[in-house]
Every structure is written in C-alpha cells, then in structure tokens.
Chains A and B, each alone.
Chain A
Amino acid sequence: MAMPGMYVSPEQLMQDRADYARKGISRGRSLAAVEYQGGIALVAENASSTLRKVSEIYDRIAFGGVGRYNEFDQLRIAGVRYAELKGYQYSREDVDARSLANQYAQMLGQIFTHEMKPMEVEIVVAEIDSNGAPELYRIQYDGTVADEQHWCCIGGDSEAVLDRLSDGWSQDLDRDAAVRLAVTALAGTDRSISAQELEVAVLATDNGRRCFVRLEDAETEALLAI
C-alpha cells in the first residue's frame, strides 16, 4: 500500500517483518527434536491434546511446528499433500525430507517478501532413512533453511534449550533417554513439565512402513518417572 510522502527503506521493511514474526514465535512454547539409535524423538510443550504441534507427513517423515497454530497447520497439510502427490506420481521411496524442506523454504520465503504479513511460524522436518540415518531441517519464518545435526529446537526459548541439548546428547541414546533429554532441555533447571503438558512422538525404524508413532500420556509419564 503506497502512501504519499512516506518512505520506508527495504531494509527497514524486512527488519520490521522479521521482528513481527519473531515476536509471534517467541510467545509460544518450544519444540525439540533429538536423534537416537534407530529414530528421532520429537517433543513439544503443548497443553492441548487435540491441537497438534507434531504430526506425520509420510512414511519416514515427521513435521513439527511452533508459533501460530492455524499457520503451521496449513503448512503441515500442504506438506502431506506434496508428499502424497509425489509418492503417487513416482514412488514412495522418492519422497524425501530434503525436497520437502526446500518446498517449505520456497513457500515461506515467498510469503515473507510478498504478503502483507509474514507467517509467525518456525518448523522442523525430520526424516529417518531405511538404515536409520536421520535428517533434520529447521525452516524459519523467512524461508531460511538449516540442516541440523543430532538435535534441534524451535520456538521461544530455543537458545537456552539448545545449550542443554548439546550438553546432554550422546551417540548412544535410546528412545526413552532421548525423550527424557528433550523434556529436561525444554523444562530447564527450575521447573518440570508433566506428561499431560507434553506432546511426544517418534520416528522409529522398527515401526514398519509408517515410522511415525505418538506416545500416549501414560507411556510418557512412565518413561519420565525413571
């Protein structure tokens, strides 16, 4: 919308949009993804048990989103559609996280520069290949995509969570240990998070074709009690 007598530099415009998006994202709770032997655990702090932050995209691919729910859910659905169409047109093995992450990056970049308002979201795309080799991509509100190693965190308090993940991560984590690490990293030192306030899912190579499995609250509670 051009206003007479008013000039805003492109730098300022981008800066304002980025600040706006960051502010929206930082209001929400964080989500952590942690690799372990034979899988990837995705753990989000989420008071709702019906509005999901972590979901299944395809056989070996999972999605995690933080920020504005309606926006990242729109991205989740677009991702499911992209994967299903690609798998239908070619083969299921041709659907991979790298190209999906690139599609998300293109879309978020386009929206960031061309739309009235950027999306107030940050997302993670996780994949586990048939040999158990994991891939993690973090995509930001402006389309910046990063290829993460071993763990990653998105959302409000991500810097502090990342430090705790880096301190606690090791090559030989199993599923339960990975979930516990993610939960303690999200909680920090001065509080604890109950199973009811958590959303936990894993991509596990031992779960047949569809690797994505949600953990029930009772299951999460049991493994956190150890």
Chain B
Amino acid sequence: MPFYVPGEDPGTDFLNLLRRNGLDPFPTTLPGTIDAGHATTVLALRCTGGVVVAGDRRATAGHLISHRDMQKVFPADEHSAVAIAGAAGPAIQMVRVFQLQLEYYEKIEGKPLTLEGKANQLAEMLRGHLPQAMQGLAVVPIFAGFDQTRESGRLFQFDVTGGRYEEQDYATSGSGSLHAGTVIKLGYRKDLSESEALSLAVKALWHAADEDSATGGPDPIRGIYPVLTVITDQGFRQLSDEESGAVFADFREELAEG
C-alpha cells in the first residue's frame, strides 16, 4: 500500500504516483522514429446549452483501414470530453491516464478540478509527451466541457508541444480537420441550438470523409456511424448509433433536395 511521509507525498499528481510505483505511462527513451500518421477527423462546437463533440470511426495503418469502429471521443469526466487525433495507441493511453487523473484529483481533494484546471492538466500531459511526438507518435486532442461556474460550454484546442488555445466557436483536429473546419465555419452561428449543432457536426464529418481517405463516413450497412456527443449542465451524453443514424438520415434528405 503506497504510504508517504509529508514532503515526499505525490499529492494529487496521478502521473507522479504511477512513476513512483514503477508504472511510467509514457516512456520517453525510445530509439528511432515511427510514422503513425494523423488519420482522423474530430471536432467540437459550442451551442446554446453547451458543446457538441464528434468524431469519425476510422483508424488507418498506411493505406489500409485497421478499424472501422474506433472510438475517438471519450468522456473525461461527467461534464467534459476529450477527442483525439494522432497515433491511436499513445492517444488512447493519454485519455486513460487523463480520465484517471481527474477522478483521482476529485477523490483526494474532495472536489473536482475546474474546467480550466482540467485543460491545463491535459496540456501538461502533452508537454510530457513531446519526445514521443518528435518520434512520430504525435497526439493532438480537443478538450471540451460544460463550465459550471460560467454556465456555458467551453472548448480548447492543443498542439503537440502542449500549447493550449481556447476557442470561442469551434475546433477541429486530424487529417480531415481542414474540410470539417471550413464546413463548420460557413454554417456556424453563435445561437446554434443543440440539434442544429449536431446537424452541422454531421455535415462537417461527412464532407471531411468525402475528401479525406483517412476519415470514415457513415456505414449504414454495418450500422456504424460517427460518434456524436453533447455536454450540457446535465453532463456528458453520447448519442446511440440509431440516434446518430437519424441525424445522418436527415442530412441525406437535405443533400437529395439539393
């Protein structure tokens, strides 16, 4: 059982606790470089009641599709989510440690971190990940959540060096981010409702998949649809495949009508 004397106590830092117990989650002394690509489209946009976070489901290895039902949007805790682009293995590991860090902090301190604190924590992890990013295993997440003190949705974009940039309207990441970003930019308004924001997210993901080979589109044959999530004061909610399918069906009608 880990027991520390005052002065040596790792406090609320879960990463430090892992390292002190011989479980370094991000080993940095790797030889050589690996090209793990940047194959994804994830996005987040603010709406009146909070924020919508969405991502496609495709994972690629070179020109091959390695997974059709990847999850790239994760709840970080009850009122926030993180969407990932970049090397899948390190990205998923980073999300896992991030989730554990938030819950660990909450339990040790008796209250959760502020949304700002959570975003800074993720930036800190990215900064620590820079050596691996230099070796080709870059991770570029988006962090979004409902800020209970400000009573509004907020979103943050990052770069591989741990740079943290708060966005007012929307954020995109991954190889399809340019296309998705343009679609959102053209359709965005400050007063988008939750369902309007979901429709815009679906439109952006569809156009990204239409232009970028590394981004997956809707797959009605298998019933696999991009992940759509909403964070409001009620917390994080992921739409079921049926619900996402319905939003895509509406978009198909819109396309058919021209």
Contact = CB atoms under 8 A, between A and B. Distances in A.
**Mutual binders A and B:** yes
B1 interface: yes
Interface string B1-33: 111000000000010011001010000000000
A87 B21 CA distance: 13
Contact of B1 (A55, A57, A89, A103): A103
B162 to A, nearest CB: 23
A88 B23 contact: yes
Nearest to A102: B1
B107 A56 contact: yes
B110 A107 contact: no
The A contact surface, by secondary structure, is: helix
B14 A84 contact: yes
**Interface secondary structure of B, over-half rule:** helix
A68 to B, nearest CB: 15
The bracket for how many chain A residues form the interface is: 20 to 34
Interface in A31-87: 50, 52, 55-57, 74, 77-82, 84-85, 87
Given A81-B17, A85-B18, A88-B100, A55 B107 contact: yes
Nearest to B96: A88
B251 interface: no
A159 B21 CA distance: 41
Nearest to B21: A85
A79 B107 CA distance: 11
Contacts of B3: 74, 78, 107
Contacts of A81: 1-2, 17
Nearest to B101: A84
Interface size on B, as a range, is 10 to 19
B79 to A, nearest CB: 14
Contacts of B21: 85
Contact of B17 (A50, A56, A85, A87): A85
Contacts of B103: 84
B111 to A, nearest CB: 10
Given A80-B104, A80-B107, A88 B18 contact: yes
Contacts of B23: 85, 88-89
29 contacts: A55-B107, A55-B110, A56-B107, A74-B3, A78-B1, A78-B2, A78-B3, A79-B1, A80-B104, A80-B107, A80-B108, A81-B1, A81-B17, A82-B1, A82-B2, A84-B14, A84-B17, A84-B103, A85-B2, A85-B18, A85-B21, A85-B23, A88-B18, A88-B23, A88-B100, A89-B23, A103-B1, A104-B1, A107-B3
Nearest 6 Cβ contacts at the A-B interface: A103-B1, A81-B2, A82-B1, A80-B107, A78-B3, A78-B1
Interface of A: 50, 52, 55-57, 74, 77-82, 84-85, 87-89, 103-104, 106-107
Given A89-B23, A104-B1, 4 more contacts: A81-B2, A81-B17, A85-B2, A88-B100
